[in-house]
């Protein structure tokens, strides 16, 4: 397949005077050549992963080629974290206008300024530490991200330092008191995850949907794993959140490509289900 037909996967970097610098990879679909504004998905990798590895494991570039959207993969630095984890567990990286959330939001806006991207259809997803940071970024910038995908991650404020991070990963973290609801959120978590306790997935949903009794659907993926899909709706019937519990799944991207790290090909396709959830949601138009 020639490059024009398969899209481009380019390298770039973004610098913030206060928050620092991050390199990134950006997938540009062939549909971008038409000049029509397209959606953007910000993809936050897990610890020790890289943009290229995460793109392969999730298959997000192939989905972007098929559906016509941009996929942006920031690369955490070893200087910021020796294991290249996003610093979701540090209080200075948990709020709007500071630390990594500000850097990631700034990068997203910079890419939007240079490409034809629909500002009403920008989304964020991540795995593990990237999932935890996706929750934080979505909460901090609900005016930028229309929906959030958290895979094997933790809720905003689940920890504020290293000891509380390990505690949260082992048994679930604190739930941060919020005055406003999180953006619409879809959660995937394996119920045999021994790295990030599955209760953290439930806590992510609570920050988005509150204490709402969900509708439940148990089924089996085409590749073999059973799962339960929990759907949370408001009083008007609008879906606020989904929580997919992958039975027998560990700490891995459900339905992912085995050529990437931390993937589970047997599970339901998290990439396709997140995209379905995302693309059904848009931010209100601004004047």
At 254-286, the pLDDT tens digits run 999 999 999 999 999 999 999 999 999 999 987
At 13-45, the pLDDT tens digits run 999 888 789 999 999 999 999 999 999 999 999
* Residue 100 pLDDT grade (very low, low, confident, very high; cuts 50, 70, 90): very high
Q: Which domains does the chain have, with CATH numbers?
A: 3-279 (3.40.50.1820)
Report yes or no: 11 and 25 within 8 Å, Cβ to Cβ: yes
Q: What percent of the chain has pLDDT over 70?
A: 97
Q: For residue 32, what pLDDT is reported?
A: 95
Residue 287 pLDDT greater than 60, yes or no = no
At 152-180, the pLDDT tens digits run 999 999 999 999 999 999 988 877 666 57
Q: For residue 1, what pLDDT is reported?
A: 44
Residue 87 pLDDT greater than 70, yes or no = yes
Long-range contacts, stretch 158-167, CB < 8 angstroms, 24+ apart: 158/88, 158/89, 158/132, 158/200, 158/203, 159/88, 159/89, 160/89, 160/90, 160/91, 160/94, 161/89, 161/90, 161/91, 162/89, 164/89, 165/88, 165/89
* Closest C-alpha among 73, 216, 210, 233 to residue 155: 210
Rg (alpha carbons) of the chain, rounded to whole number: 17
**Rounded-to-integer distance, Cα 13 and Cα 75, Å:** 9
Angle at 143 between CA 127 and CA 133, to 5 degrees: 20
At 110-128, the pLDDT tens digits run 999 999 999 999 999 999 9
* Tokens linked to 44: 């936050």
CA distances (Å), origin 267, targets 52, 102, 183, 209, 244: 22, 33, 25, 24, 10
């Amino acid at each position: 397949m020639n490059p024009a037909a398969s899209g481009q996967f380019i390298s770039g970097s973004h610098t913030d005077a206060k928050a620092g610098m991050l390199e990134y990879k950006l997938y540009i679909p062939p549909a971008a050549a038409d000049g029509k504004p397209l959606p953007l998905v910000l993809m936050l990798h897990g610890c020790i992963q890289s943009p290229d590895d995460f793109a392969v494991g999730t298959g997000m570039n192939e989905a972007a080629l098929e559906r016509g959207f941009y996929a942006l993969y920031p690369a955490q630095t070893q200087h910021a974290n020796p294991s290249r984890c996003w610093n979701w567990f540090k209080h200075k990286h948990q709020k709007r206008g500071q630390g990594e959330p500000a850097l990631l939001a700034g990068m997203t806006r910079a890419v939007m300024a240079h490409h034809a991207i629909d500002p009403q259809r920008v989304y964020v997803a991540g795995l593990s530490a990237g999932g935890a940071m996706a929750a934080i970024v979505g909460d901090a910038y609900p005016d930028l991200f229309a929906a959030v995908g958290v895979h094997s991650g933790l809720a905003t404020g689940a920890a504020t330092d290293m000891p509380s991070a390990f505690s949260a990963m082992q048994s679930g973290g604190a739930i941060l008191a919020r005055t406003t609801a999180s953006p619409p959120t879809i959660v995937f978590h394996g119920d045999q995850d021994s790295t990030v306790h599955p209760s953290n997935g439930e806590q992510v949903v609570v920050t988005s949907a509150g204490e709402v009794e969900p509708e439940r659907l148990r089924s089996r993926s085409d590749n073999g794993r059973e799962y339960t899909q929990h759907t949370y709706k408001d009083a008007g019937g609008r879906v606020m959140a989904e929580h997919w519990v992958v039975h027998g799944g560990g700490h891995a991207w459900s339905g992912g490509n085995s050529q990437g790290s931390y993937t589970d090909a047997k599970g339901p396709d998290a990439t396709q289900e997140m995209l379905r959830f995302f693309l059904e949601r848009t931010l209100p138009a601004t004047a």
